[in-house]
Structure 1
């Protein structure tokens, strides 16, 4: 074959439209070229017989007569070395062996490949080994008991001992274009094995009841059982290993194995089938009922490469019996749309098709098989897809046959598109080593249809609750995929979310952003936007969520106990509200088979009174809609909701939508627990309760002393035994209302004690006696949670929690959470938390914020007398007693704090108002506010006298402040400070401890409305046992009362003051530079620039006046950046044009412009030098701060900058008026 013939064949392959042609395979050019290279070798003459035979082991005789060569063997095994072993078109080679178990090894030691164009016959087994290659031409007719053709060698000793281990590095190929038939003992069971680096079948190979094996590698072992070839093992792979079937392999009742292994980790192996492989089920023996049925098997395996199927794989049973087994495995498996794969059995059980790659994707385009192709194939065979890593269903799959689809992933399984099975007994099997993620609808319509899920991690059904919560940073799922993205601006233009990895470029500084102590930005402002924090990334699925539906109501547990099996446990399927109500107090595992409409009945308090201890109830992504509940009788301690009481159980994957719960009617209704999903959730012994992936909507109204929640009324763990309940991926949009004098109320949970809240949120409005946007009261941990509703109470109120604190037995953490609703509360109210209490253990708060206004309303007739009340933009009151401390970092509040509490002065009746925290009281010291700020106005002008008011804090005792600031106006009566109204050390069990303020500042204006205020300061109204500085700055021009040393610094002080100073109005814009110690450079460069600019302005004005008046001569300008003076007039001379002429005017204008330009250049150069010096010092300061760990502010002294541009995927966008405009592209980071 000439080289151009190879090119022609390759061109034909690409054009072929045959359904079983190589054209539908994805074969690499490298592999194709390898075959062509071998076929291009010189073709021996057709009139040819084996030559130079020498028997080296065993007993055999060789005789040749004309075109016939006979090998007469008398031993069970014999080895013959040949100089050449080829058989011409008219030639025949006969092996006469003792029996079908006898074997002859024919090894070619010459330099030519073996070309078989004639006939080879044997009653036993024939091995042909030739490292130069083996070609069975189109005229070849091979009839043997067994055949091995290999370019890999085998040692004499191994062959004689029956150890069939082959090895070699030959690049030659084994190709069949003829007809090879193996009959074994004459009744079947023969085998054909083609071994080498490249093996291709372009003819027909048949081995009824036997084995056909094609293997590519450098070391291969044939595994026999008696005379039957059972399997092939590739012990060592080879580079560019290739196995290809382009025509037909038939092994009915037997097996076909095509396997290749790549060298090391190089993914170069390919196993391709574009032809027909048939291994149908058949009867091995005839004779009525004693007949044995043999099931066919087909195995295609590319170890370290790709298996591609565009032809037909047939392991069906058209003549009886069960269908066979097909496996297509490799690191990648590609199934073309033209592929036909079947294991159908009209009179038996359909067989199985297993696909087992590393990753596998079902997709309409770009995947490994399309949903349409898979759907069609499922109507012919049960299918099993097994991926070593992840398996993705990215295209819809549906079928009507009674077949089973098995999806197995070693890591995660993702069902991203719908799967629908309508067969009466169709089946689905989901298995994952880690998680099963159902992100779309899964539906089984058959009365006996089944679904089994087995996982090592969990199963996750995507519901709206999967998007519950957002944070000051992204939230990711278990695989690192973003669920929520932070955004930098509240405005809708530019877009609310930028891709992950977006970089921000900062221009001129602006108040608002904060940096942590290491100089990393916490919050960012975009030009034209407001720093209200990130916004939740929108669910872009278009409202498509996951669910698992058993639509046939006849599919009951009694009829089909295996209808749903999860991790080996059967679940009772519930199809109606009647079935749901019947599970009261019966412990079991339950699943909602479909969506339910509850609107036809009004329920009395509950639908299910008690969910039996230790039960599991999964909604499978479904909803119960229109639930209506009323309370018709007096009740004390009554529970109310879909479930009244849940203990030691799991509730998950369920939505309770459009609820209408009103239990206000009973005259006596005390201590009630009311929630849309459950009235109360508790533990059972050492078993906690878990609430996961649930949500609710609608309205809840109750009266008198109750605990009300939009989802759960009361969730209680156990502080003694340390059993903690969990609520994860949960939200509520329910409006929750009770009397202002009654109840603990929360948008999600009324009270949550010893509970972990993760990815939770509430958006409904909340009203009650003590209330929080998320929970009225909580103790434990809370992560990635938020609330947006308005909160209205007469006592304590918080935008997120009315009350919050740590566990009674360990530290509690609140992080990555926020509230945006306005708060109308009483004496202990905050934008995020009303009251925070830490006892024996610490409370840690980080990355949180509140943006709503906080209104402290007049208590009126209640006559409240609370010791140490407080109102704050973030937290109203913080109390740290015993050993517990409260640590607040990276927090901010931007809403206004407006106080009108009407308290009279008296002992222990001091109310405090602060932009961040109203009252902060630590009896033992050790609490800290770090890298935090407040920007809202604090107005306590309507409050009583002697109430501390401050821009950051009202009254602080025993708490340190580091790297924090305030900017909002502060208005009070008597004790007023720009940063803190009253700042005190502690005098608790550990004695007197000095409280400190470090690296912080305020630009707040301070106003005292009393004609004769007690203590007013630009920084602090009153301080005691306190240390201030270094690097603490304040508004030196504030209006105030009593000062210190003539400066409006403190109203009154007992303590130490270091390195703190007031700033003038022109200096306040640079407050952050003062705080991080670079102000000297800033002021120096600014002074030079200002002097030069002023001189240039005056010089230009003088010259323009001279020109306008037509004066003679000209003024020359000499202006420098450090020393300027007005130029004197230059007397006219004979060589100078008159100053009033056009030429003179032009010259003077040019001189003015040149002088102004020189000044501008000097100013810019000075600014550049100053900026470089600041950056150098800032780098040194950061390095020193990291070594000290002293919490000093980072770049910008805790104050950020306006984002002028962003870089996204190598493209720079300038942000002007909130609209991104593309600028020159920038190089993406490497």
Structure 2
């Protein structure tokens, strides 16, 4: 039931416009209600308004909710904007009249079978909910619903449990705080790292519209499902985080600043499903960003417009319009993709972009990883599925850092469309590389072949590849010393699929004689597929052993050899 005062519900503010003079009579009436109720009053917060429009009485009579119970949020205090809070036994309703509002809560949890509903003026409006009580983590086991955008800030941690659902236009869950004035003003939202090691965890279902879904903490785990129809998805921690406000709330541009790095390296872990379907003509965007920390991907990430099914497998949004693939960006010091993981940025009209550890050739402002591991069985796809060019896949660790290792044993695909389009581009780069058993496919079914680029500090083509051992990912690697060995069979496999191959060396100073050389010690033979090319660009010398041949018995193989390709060795 909805608690009432002198016959008026909590939404009727008229009796209290006279301010503090009526406070004693209000409290007496509340005591009478408490005495007659068989249950509990979960929240009593009377805020004497500075102006009549800000009037709020939050009195929720809940038959089975103790003062600090976890079934519904308690102690709501509107500190900015205009809203009314009311509740029944299983439901909390917040009706917001302003485009933005800030509500401080003693606790913010939703029990199974309970719901919290935020009715906002439109889908661009937003409410910042902040938990102010210490050691009071938020658990959402029921339903959080809104036609607008909901931010939940709790330094003690936030969990969406396996029975929990979030259905909003936009949703952000953060252990980092944001200032009231900045939030109310709009524009870029700066979440300040407070050093909290509390986690944001999703085990349930988060479904948003074009406001996107954003989890912000030093420790983040997605074990459930996160879906955004028309918006972007970000899992970010490690530093200060900025979400750029757009026409519809938080459309990142995601930026992680250098300041505020936690002394304890954080972890972003995905063992569930993340799907950003994007807008009408392009796929969505997914960002996992954790500078100086770790990312462990053991689930599914999709950034493209595909058919979306609900829990009963009913199609709720068919993929009727061909689109280009989206963008997936994994940014951390240490990144691991397990054998069960998939990243899909394919699109009917063109492939998308997947950046793991860095951008193409280390350009741009992404934090460059030290270690990247993609296990055998992992799949990364940025292909055009029908018409158009293949996209871009980058697996990168800092080539200028002597400890950096990129280890790729899975399947990377950036093919052109079956009805026309060129192949895409794939890069595997690091100071040292291990690409044994990789499947790199940038073929074109009806166009020009795409390319696979390998760029370590030095490289030898031999019968066996460099061997690196992954130690409990994403914790580290044991790497062989010296340069990178690439098996001729892995190069031949790429050529035979119809992909061109580029071998390039950077030759970072301080690595001894031979740094920057490309040595070809065994034959390279193309025996299948269409016309391709093999290009060798060495920082120093190209050395082809006696009696070694580079040849093709199927289709053309254009060969380019260029020593001192960067003109730094005279």
Instruction: Give the Cα separation in 1 of the matches to 2:109 and 2:246.
Output: 30
Instruction: Give the Cα separation in 1 of the matches to 2:227 and 2:497.
Output: 38
Q: CA deviation at 1:277?
A: 1.2
C-alpha contact (below 8 Å) 1:399/1:423 kept by paired residues: no
Residue 251 of structure 1: aligned partner:
276
Residue 316 of structure 2: aligned partner:
none
Does the residue aligned with 2:182 lie in a helix, a strand or coil? helix
C-alpha contact (below 8 Å) 1:315/1:325 kept by paired residues: no
C-alpha contact (below 8 Å) 2:407/2:434 kept by paired residues: no
Instruction: Give the Cα separation in 1 of the matches to 2:126 and 2:96.
Output: 9
Is 1:212 aligned to 2:233, yes or no? yes
Q: CA deviation at 1:309?
A: 3.6
Deviation readout 1:468-491 (Å, 9 max, x if unpaired) = xxxxxxxxxxxxxxxxxxxxxxxx
C-alpha contact (below 8 Å) 1:281/1:321 kept by paired residues: no
Deviation readout 1:183-209 (Å, 9 max, x if unpaired) = 1xxxxx230000011000111110123
Residue 463 of structure 1: aligned partner:
545
C-alpha contact (below 8 Å) 1:281/1:323 kept by paired residues: no
C-alpha contact (below 8 Å) 1:77/1:104 kept by paired residues: yes
Residue 128 of structure 1: aligned partner:
152
Instruction: Give the Cα separation in 2 of the matches to 1:45 and 1:170.
Output: 23
Q: CA deviation at 1:231?
A: 3.1
Deviation readout 1:1086-1140 (Å, 9 max, x if unpaired) = xxxxxxxxxxxxxxxxxxxxxxxxxxxxxxxxxxxxxxxxxxxxxxxxxxxxxxx
Q: CA deviation at 1:74?
A: 1.6
Deviation readout 1:827-859 (Å, 9 max, x if unpaired) = xxxxxxxxxxxxxxxxxxxxxxxxxxxxxxxxx
Residue 253 of structure 2: aligned partner:
231
Residue 339 of structure 1: aligned partner:
378
CA distance 1:399–1:410, shift in 2 (3 Å): closer
Q: What is the aligned counterpart of 2:520 among 436, 439, 448?
A: 439
Is 1:321 aligned to 2:322, yes or no? no
C-alpha contact (below 8 Å) 2:328/2:345 kept by paired residues: no
Residue 551 of structure 2: aligned partner:
549
Does the residue aligned with 1:159 lie in a helix, a strand or coil? helix
CA distance 1:347–1:80, shift in 2 (3 Å): same
Residue 426 of structure 2: aligned partner:
384
Deviation readout 1:770-817 (Å, 9 max, x if unpaired) = xxxxxxxxxxxxxxxxxxxxxxxxxxxxxxxxxxxxxxxxxxxxxxxx
Q: CA deviation at 1:90?
A: 1.7
Residue 312 of structure 1: aligned partner:
341
CA distance 1:45–1:350, shift in 2 (3 Å): farther
1:910-989 correspondence runs (5 A):
none
CA distance 1:275–1:554, shift in 2 (3 Å): closer
Residue 497 of structure 1: aligned partner:
none
Instruction: Give the Cα separation in 2 of the matches to 1:213 and 1:386.
Output: 24
Residue 113 of structure 2: aligned partner:
90
Does the residue aligned with 2:370 lie in a helix, a strand or coil? strand
Residue 500 of structure 2: aligned partner:
427
1:456-535 correspondence runs (5 A):
457-458=539-540, 460-464=542-546
Is 1:172 aligned to 2:213, yes or no? no
Residue 369 of structure 1: aligned partner:
408
CA distance 1:378–1:293, shift in 2 (3 Å): closer
Residue 978 of structure 1: aligned partner:
none
C-alpha contact (below 8 Å) 2:324/2:346 kept by paired residues: no
Q: CA deviation at 1:308?
A: 3.5
C-alpha contact (below 8 Å) 1:425/1:450 kept by paired residues: no
CA distance 1:399–1:217, shift in 2 (3 Å): closer
CA distance 1:399–1:133, shift in 2 (3 Å): closer
1:737-816 correspondence runs (5 A):
none
CA distance 1:234–1:426, shift in 2 (3 Å): same
Does the residue aligned with 1:160 lie in a helix, a strand or coil? helix
Residue 450 of structure 1: aligned partner:
533
C-alpha contact (below 8 Å) 1:443/1:548 kept by paired residues: yes
Does the residue aligned with 1:157 lie in a helix, a strand or coil? helix
Does the residue aligned with 2:184 lie in a helix, a strand or coil? helix
CA distance 1:390–1:439, shift in 2 (3 Å): farther
Instruction: Give the Cα separation in 2 of the matches to 1:305 and 1:143.
Output: 32
Does the residue aligned with 1:145 lie in a helix, a strand or coil? strand
96-105 or 227-236: which moved more? Answer: 227-236
Residue 190 of structure 1: aligned partner:
211
Q: CA deviation at 1:439?
A: 2.6
In proportion to residue count, which structure has more helix?
1
1:1201-1216 correspondence runs (5 A):
none
Residue 277 of structure 1: aligned partner:
301
C-alpha contact (below 8 Å) 2:384/2:415 kept by paired residues: no
Residue 104 of structure 1: aligned partner:
127
Q: CA deviation at 1:63?
A: 1.6
Q: CA deviation at 1:240?
A: 2.1
CA distance 1:72–1:394, shift in 2 (3 Å): closer
Greater relative contact order: 1 or 2 (C-alpha under 8 angstroms, separation 6 or more)? 2
1:643-722 correspondence runs (5 A):
none
C-alpha contact (below 8 Å) 2:148/2:168 kept by paired residues: yes
Instruction: Give the Cα separation in 1 of the matches to 2:520 and 2:532.
Output: 21
C-alpha contact (below 8 Å) 1:327/1:355 kept by paired residues: yes
Does the residue aligned with 2:156 lie in a helix, a strand or coil? coil
Does the residue aligned with 1:107 lie in a helix, a strand or coil? strand
C-alpha contact (below 8 Å) 1:50/1:87 kept by paired residues: yes
Q: CA deviation at 1:458?
A: 3.9
Q: CA deviation at 1:148?
A: 0.5
Instruction: Give the Cα separation in 2 of the matches to 1:79 and 1:452.
Output: 59
Residue 364 of structure 2: aligned partner:
none
C-alpha contact (below 8 Å) 2:372/2:406 kept by paired residues: no
Residue 398 of structure 2: aligned partner:
358
Q: CA deviation at 1:158?
A: 1.9
Unaligned runs of 5+ residues in structure 1 are 1-43, 184-188, 263-268, 285-289, 465-542, 556-562, 567-619, 621-651, 654-689, 691-727, 729-755, 757-1230
1:1109-1188 correspondence runs (5 A):
none
Deviation readout 1:332-383 (Å, 9 max, x if unpaired) = 111112312223333133333210112599xxxx97233xx35x76889956
Deviation readout 1:946-981 (Å, 9 max, x if unpaired) = xxxxxxxxxxxxxxxxxxxxxxxxxxxxxxxxxxxx
Aligned length: 415
Q: CA deviation at 1:155?
A: 1.1
Instruction: Give the Cα separation in 2 of the matches to 1:451 and 1:224.
Output: 45
C-alpha contact (below 8 Å) 2:146/2:169 kept by paired residues: yes
Deviation readout 1:309-350 (Å, 9 max, x if unpaired) = 4333332547x2222221221211111123122233331333
C-alpha contact (below 8 Å) 1:439/1:461 kept by paired residues: yes
TM-score by length of 2: 0.65
Q: What is the aligned counterpart of 2:170 among 146, 152, 157?
A: 146
CA RMSD after TM alignment: 3.6
CA distance 1:410–1:62, shift in 2 (3 Å): farther
Q: CA deviation at 1:392?
A: 3.0
Instruction: Give the Cα separation in 1 of the matches to 2:385 and 2:172.
Output: 36
Instruction: Give the Cα separation in 2 of the matches to 1:193 and 1:241.
Output: 16
C-alpha contact (below 8 Å) 2:111/2:142 kept by paired residues: yes
Q: CA deviation at 1:552?
A: 4.5
C-alpha contact (below 8 Å) 1:182/1:207 kept by paired residues: yes
CA distance 1:132–1:447, shift in 2 (3 Å): closer
CA distance 1:176–1:550, shift in 2 (3 Å): same
Instruction: Give the Cα separation in 1 of the matches to 2:329 and 2:355.
Output: 5
